[in-house]
Amino acid sequence: GAVVSQHPSWVICKSGTSVKIECRSLDFQATTMFWYRQFPKQSLMLMATSNEGSKATYEQGVEKDKFLINHASLTLSTLTVTSAHPEDSSFYICSAPRGHEQFFGPGTRLTVL
């Protein structure tokens, strides 16, 4: 199947700093990518839809100024958590559709101290 990578796989940062997470489709192009957040023992919650060449679409309740999304190319989307706080600690996962399927990255574990 198609491969989606994320970098970094885990990151620890201090409160108030910004963290950038990259999502890449390695063997296919993706005009759309999705960003999810998953808290321990919970389901995946969609945060936003990343659109190549246009602004991201955010789900209700997600602060667009806090979670900056940039779809820089047909294979790369980035999520920047700005002014991170401990409550932003979570598992962030991206996905990219190819054909009728969505392929997920391995996730990024963010811990904010």
Partner 1 sequence: QQQVKQSPQSLIVQKGGIPIINCAYENTAFDYFPWYQQFPGKGPALLIAIRPDVSEKKEGRFTISFNKSAKQFSLHIMDSQPGDSATYFCAASRGGFQKLVFGTGTRLLVSP
* Positions that interact with partner 1 (CB under 8 A): 1, 4, 6, 32, 34, 41-46, 49, 91, 93, 95, 97, 99-107, 109
Q: Which is nearer to partner 1, 42 or 83 (CB)?
A: 42
Q: Which is nearer to partner 1, 63 or 101 (CB)?
A: 101
Cβ 79 to partner 1 shortest distance, Å: 14
Cβ 83 to partner 1 shortest distance, Å: 26
Q: Which is nearer to partner 1, 5 or 82 (CB)?
A: 5
Distance of alpha carbon 113 from alpha carbon 109, whole angstroms: 13
Cβ 34 to partner 1 shortest distance, Å: 6
